[in-house]
Chain A
Amino acid sequence: MSAQPTAERGARSRLMEVVLLYAGCALGALVISGLIVEAVGADWSTVGGALLNGSVLKPGRWGGTIGVTIPLAMVAIGTIISTKVGLVNIGQEGQLLVGAAFATYFSTRVPGPGPFVLIVVLAAGVVGGALWSGLAGGLRYWRKVPEVLTTLLLVSVASNLVGYGLKHHWLLLDAEAKLGNRNLVSEQLPPDTRLPRITMWGNDFPISAVLAVCLVLLVGWMLSRTLWGYRLTVVGHNRKVARRFGISESAQGMIAMLASGGFAGLAGAFMLTGGDFANYRMVSGFSVSIGWVGLLVALVANNRALAVIPMAFVFASLRTGSGFLASTGIERRVTDVVQGLIVLALLLPPAIMFIGERRRALAAARSRV
């Protein structure tokens, strides 16, 4: 009888501890960022104000931030799927690029009414991304090549492949563009195959935002509430148990890997058709590190689907906010520093908590002896 209130109090103090840890680490990251800003002779409060203005406060800015949030959230939710099954997919940047390239390829070659082409383009993006991650997944399960390395290596292959495609008319290069004048762009998407944009209080963002939220919720639900999600969890936690249960590790792993790459590819297709990036064209350097940052979003969200949306918005804000930094006389790249520090800081609490829990468990075990 007396145990219950203590347990409750313990849980509450544990929760306080978690909140304090996270808050402390995030604060630490911000303080270090502030110090770096001060070190180069700028004022941290004006820099912070400019970031807020550029990302949310000034009229018409938060729409753009939502536009960046969409692909970040897609990449992150894909990453969560592959992490769930115990795979380390760190090649989202490449999968996103290949997805976008597939989408571009089909955008001008498929005949038919606009909405139909749009769907084909999005599907092509998914297929492209899934193909790229599927390569790594296949090598993982058939040839036992560590997927960490293949996904990573395929990023550089993907960017070279897209670079090659953008130099050749039969692949991606716009027929009008002249070769050699550094004008390596694909043909612009016709207006009726672009995603419609929603206008709201002076802000506008592509309709994929709604779709993205639905997909994040759907995946979150599927991972935690369906048999499929349970299978992935079992494989991710203990392969031996999975085998006893009759769950095929390679099948679940391949599915997760394909889904993970498919979401990254979808992010690429959304970027192409959404209009917040590169003006409805494929250009060299199209991915602008969205794949890497999306991966960071998944890390910071600690693989919880619901946390993906706010975290993606925060990281998108850093990106769009950096556009307003020019007036403060500080390089916009400072946001890369802030972003990296935040991620590094938010890796600490789970690790510290794990160690604390182990200490407690060990102490309990010792007192029992």
Chain B
Amino acid sequence: MGGLISVVWDVASTDSAYTAAARFAVVLAFAATGEWVAERAGTLNISVEAMILAGAFAAAMGYHTTGSVAVGLACGTVAGAMVASVQAEMSHRLTADQFVVGLTLNILVLGVVGFLGSEWEPSTRTASVVEIPLLVDVPLVGPALFGQPWPFYLIYLVVPLCAWLVHRTRWGLEVRSVGENPQAADVSGIDVNRRRRQSIYLGGLTAGLGGGYLLLGQVGRFDPGIVAGRGFIALVAVIFGGWTLRGAIFGCLLFGSVLSFRLTLPGLGYELNNEMLSSLPALVTIVAMALFAHAVRQPEALARPFIRGLK
């Protein structure tokens, strides 16, 4: 027990541990924010993994051809939205099962990206670090939150923007109503499936941006295995957070730190069980869901397709 406390203390008092945790968490946060919107509208969108991957690949190609990080990120965002368009149109216009479509997309995008990646071999590097003056000098968390590659700071825009959209606009109210009671929303004149499609598009945009950040802000070199289940962890973070944005971001921070231990703990001289650590987000979520599935209120119509006249 004493050993554990000293580990926690060592990690908690190291700057680099925070930096690594923030880098892992922010990719999750990009994806989870959009995923949260999609889930509030009633789609359990498992193609988020594919969206991140497509975003990362498009960012790599964008950077490779133009040499500009901004263009790379824009390409990534567009690619995420392209994957989202397939998911949205097939599951909420054509009434194909959303899990089936999502799963197929995950496999298809992995195939396309693996194939094109090995044919075109984009060469990339990470974006330069931009330190925000004053804030970066805050002890411990300063460098982690304000001394990162510049695409990192987009998260400070994306999260409040999505929170505002969902909680403070008419569109957001409609999105939430569509996720809670699509029949009632339909009767009051809201195009249910249209709102759901739009929320998936938004999810694609942020996940694609997250993929772009993953490549240009963190990893720096494209590989088809770059996402490594982060999309699923982001999805899980939303559920872990009980379908609130605050909770989802907390989940991202938690799981991001767990993932980052793989890098930080060996650096501090601790041996660790890599397999245990890798499966921790999944295990924590399963246990949390088993314990709190009753207590947490999920969007009432989550994962239920809406077809007018059929309940």
Contacts and interface: CB of A to CB of B under 8 A. Distances in A.
Interface of A: 36, 40, 88, 90, 139, 143-146, 148-150, 152-154, 156-157, 160-161, 163-164, 292-293, 295-296, 299, 330-331, 333-337, 339-341, 343-344, 347-348, 350-352, 354-355, 358
Contacts of A296: 103-104, 107
Contacts of B229: 156
Contacts of B307: 358
Contacts of A343: 104, 107-108
B140 interface: no
A88 B46 CA distance: 13
Contacts of B271: none
27 contacts: A36-B112, A40-B115, A88-B99, A139-B289, A145-B290, A146-B289, A150-B286, A153-B285, A156-B278, A157-B282, A163-B275, A164-B275, A331-B114, A331-B119, A334-B115, A337-B112, A339-B108, A340-B105, A340-B109, A343-B107, A344-B108, A347-B104, A348-B90, A351-B94, A354-B95, A355-B94, A358-B307
B36 interface: no
A148 B118 CA distance: 32
Contact of B101 (A148, A149, A293, A347): A347
Contacts of A333: 111, 114-115, 118
B290 A292 contact: no
Contacts of B99: 88, 90, 148
Contacts, number: 139
B107 A299 contact: no
B116 interface: yes
A354 B103 CA distance: 21
Contact of A161 (B108, B119, B236, B275): B275
Given A164-B275, A340-B107, A344-B90, 9 more contacts: A90-B103, A152-B46, A292-B107, A295-B103, A296-B103, A333-B111, A337-B108, A343-B104, A355-B95
A144 to B, nearest CB: 5
Given A152-B232, A299-B100, A340 B116 contact: no
Interface in B188-212: none
A149 B278 contact: no
A156 B105 CA distance: 19
Secondary structure class of chain A's binding surface, majority of residues: helix
Interface in B56-115: 86, 90, 94-97, 99-101, 103-105, 107-112, 114-115
Nearest to B229: A156
Contacts of B162: none
A164 B282 CA distance: 16
B297 interface: no
B225 to A, nearest CB: 11
Nearest to B86: A344
A157 B277 CA distance: 10
B169 interface: no
B6 interface: no
Given A88-B99, A144-B293, A156-B229, A337 B115 contact: yes
Contact of B115 (A145, A163, A331): A331
A143 B294 CA distance: 8
A85 to B, nearest CB: 15
Contacts of B289: 139, 143, 145-146, 149-150
B254 to A, nearest CB: 15
Interface in B249-288: 273-276, 278-279, 282-283, 285-286
A336 B110 contact: yes
Contacts of A340: 104-105, 107-112
B119 A40 contact: yes
A294 B100 CA distance: 13
A352 B95 CA distance: 8
Contacts of B100: 299, 347
Interface residues of B, number: 48
A88 B97 CA distance: 10
What is the predominant secondary structure among interface residues of chain B facing chain A? Answer: helix
Contact of A157 (B109, B110, B283): B283
B90 to A, nearest CB: 7
B104 A299 contact: yes
B103 A160 contact: no
A198 to B, nearest CB: 32
Given A149-B289, A153-B236, A340-B112, A160 B279 contact: yes
Contacts of B116: 36, 40
A134 to B, nearest CB: 14
Contacts of A164: 273, 275-276
A334 B94 CA distance: 27
A42 to B, nearest CB: 9
Contact of B290 (A88, A143, A330, A355): A143
Contacts of B291: 143
Nearest to A338: B111
B155 interface: no
A149 B276 contact: no
B32 interface: no
A152 B115 CA distance: 25
3 closest A-B pairs by CB: A340-B108, A336-B111, A351-B94
A340 B108 CA distance: 4
B115 A36 contact: yes
Nearest to A145: B289
Nearest to A292: B107
A348 B95 CA distance: 9
B108 A341 contact: yes
Contacts of A348: 90, 94, 96
B239 interface: yes
B179 to A, nearest CB: 15
B127 interface: no
A351 B108 contact: no
B44 interface: yes
B226 interface: no
A343 B90 CA distance: 13
Nearest to A344: B104
A179 to B, nearest CB: 14
A220 to B, nearest CB: 21
A104 B4 CA distance: 35
